[in-house]
Structure 1
């Protein structure tokens, strides 16, 4: 994903490409996605991005799922509020997916885990799309992805992190002057364009290292001219050198490759 220079202006694809979504059925108190209803009929969902449900939601729980969003580094999940509630009456497509999810969660059929993972992924995609369409009142990534002028610049950085982006280039993509862009971006996202780009690069780098990629290769993929410069930036961000993450996820018997 991070090698692809194409800029597709798709606000969610880069996040789903970078982070794996896995799901498993759970007890309601240990779940972060609850499908609620009455008399067996789905009515709403409760989504808790940052912690499992701790209290009785007050309705019948038709399905309770624990979703792993690819770790706490996922910046889109981190940007969401602590609790999201949605009535299916206003989202028929989401309800259809939730119905299938509830059925799979309660059954023990072949391919169940694949179905759960993919249905949760689709439901999460639809929910995030709905939230982007609704907009966000607080500064952050969700607000930026909801902004009609800023989101193309955000997606450009997300889709081509290795590109040597400049403020002028990003402002042109957003269709505004440099001055206007530099004033608006931090007001909507709570950070500067270059700080956002640097953080996104580090997030991608960490995911690539977790997946077993070599330090030099990761550095090149996210736009660093040398592994040393990348290692310094990585350590400033995460407080440890990238080689440690690489070693933790190295294939057994191939430790000699971890520093390459």
Structure 2
């Protein structure tokens, strides 16, 4: 019997990443040792930006007709969404009116030394990165991973649920129901599309959140509870398996 897909509304696939990871922008010249993401504003001299090229892993290779380059630190080393992106993402700003207008405002701020310039660049860059990520999710990918999962019309609901409620005692039945699928179909499809099991993904997300909390001074027992582990001992073992050291406030 063929399972009929349920029509469910999409949910916000990006908020958890912007709530969790901090983004800062600057117009510093590119350096080969710099791992921050790069935004290349491309177009003809004296004309509006035509395309934006995002290199999420800090590749400083030259792009043709670059009008301006910005560095965007979105904690790429720890941010699983940035790690899921291809090495080069190209977006035509004229295809997205909001991106076109935001990019124009970013360039205007960058060219002038007005009060609040740094804050304005950070806010505008955050919107630019968000719109590029939204475009990348909408386009999807054939490679298994987080980006493919977020692009999937049903699986993204389970991923968002894990992102938004990491401390909940999720099991496969709960997640399958959230995605509007049978358990067997959900488990097989999740592995094919995301490249891992739902529980393995959930554990990884919890540990990413935990490391950030520890780095800000939170206690191990409190963090274990906040991110959904049954005990500090279970949390510590999982943390060691993923990161190679034991959790502490310096993690």
Partner of 1:247: 250
- Could you tell me which of 123, 137, 162 is aligned with 1:132? 137
State the alpha-carbon separation in 2 of the partners of residues 209 and 113 from structure 1.
29
Other-structure match for 1:19: 21
TM-score, normalised with respect to structure 2: 0.89
Cα drift, residue 28 of structure 1: 5.1
Is the CA contact 1:29–1:52 (under 8 Å) kept in the aligned structure 2?
no
Answer yes or no: is the 8 Å Cα contact 1:29–1:54 preserved in 2.
no
Residue in 2 aligned with 1:117?
A: 122
Q: Tell me how far apart the structure 2 counterparts of residues 106 and 216 of structure 1 sit (CA, whole Å).
A: 49
Q: 1:216 to 1:71 in 2, by over 3 A?
A: farther
Cα 1:29/1:36, change in 2 over 3 Å: farther
SS at match of 1:242: coil
For residue 221 of structure 1, what is the aligned residue in structure 2? 226
Larger relative CO (CA 8 A, sep 6+): 1 or 2?
1
Count of residues paired in the alignment: 237
1:54 Cα shift? Answer: 1.8
* Among candidates 61, 73, 89, match of residue 54 of structure 1: 61
Aligned pairs for 1:179-218 within 5 A = 179-218=184-223
Map Cα deviations across residues 211-260 of structure 1 (whole Å, 9 max, x no partner). 222222211100123222211111111001111xx136xxxxxxxxxxxx
Match of 1:32 in 2: 38
Per-residue CA deviations over 1:76-110 (Å, capped at 9, x if unaligned) read 00000000111222122111111111122222221
Query: Using the alignment, how far apart are the partners of 2:212 and 2:11 within structure 1?
Result: 22
Distance 1:247-1:134 versus aligned 2 partners, 3 A rule: closer
Q: CA deviation at 1:193?
A: 0.5
| Structure 2 unaligned spans of 5+ | 1-9
Alpha-carbon distance change, 241 to 71 in structure 1, aligned in 2, over 3 angstroms: farther
Give deviations 1:133-180, integer Å, cap 9, x for gaps: 122221111111111110111111111001110101111111111111
Q: CA RMSD in A?
A: 1.6
Unaligned 5+ segments in structure 1 are 1-7, 249-260
Inter-partner Cα distance in structure 1 for 2:217 and 2:24: 19
